[in-house]
Amino acid sequence: MDILDAILTRNEAASSPICRIRGFLDDDPNSWGRALEGYPVLGPLLQATQYPDCFFVNGIGSFRNYWRKPAIIGSTKLPLDRFETVVHPAANVSRFASVGSGTVVLQNATINSRARIGNHVIILPHAVVSHDVVIGDYSCLASAACLAGNVRVGIACYLGANCSVANGLQLGDGSLVGMGAVVLEDVPEVTVVVGNPARAIRSVC
């Protein structure tokens, strides 16, 4: 719903609507045929290719399945240029930053100069991406996550709400930073870290 709200708000802020919403795709069969805020759930992701005149927005951002995000998006069989980038009008994105295709940036998020955001990333409200940060494809920053300058986030990572990552650190592909964690050291691939200071507790898989 947050992404729907961002799209509708962006439409309202423009001189003419940017997007006309067709509906949702969801692999949960219990949702098919229902409506979400007045927009129909059309069917599973496999039906994406049946809408050649549509662009798509990726809404996968849960800590429960974030590592599956590349495979889930791949199942649509859509090329990257069929995915819309959505930036909420209340987000603050530097003119010197870059934001990839299929990425969503929600309200009051901040992306500073020379930051590079990959494809299919989701950045939730009040997250802060400082200067020269690089965020890999398919990653998710939960609300109020804060990345200091020069941080490198790998592919398909999840950074929990209110976590903080110190300057210049690297987070390996598939890693998860727990809610409120304070990361003071590099995080290996597919590793879960929690606490203050953050410590590894298990592998993601």
What HEC string does the chain produce? CHHHHHHHHHHHHCCCCCCCCCCEECCCHHHCCCEECCEEEEECHHHHHHCCCCCECCCCCCCCCHHHHHHHHHCCCCCHHHECCEECCCCEECCCCEECCCCEECCCCEECCCCEECCCCEECCCCEECCCCEECCCCEECCCCEECCCCEECCCCEECCCCEECCCCEECCCCEECCCCEECCCECCCEEEECCCCEEEEECC
Q: How far apart are CA 3 and CA 72, in angstroms?
A: 18
Active site residue 131: yes
Lookup: tokens for 152: 């490198």
The single residue of 88, 120, 126, 131 carrying the catalytic annotation is 131
Which residues does the annotation mark as catalytic? 131
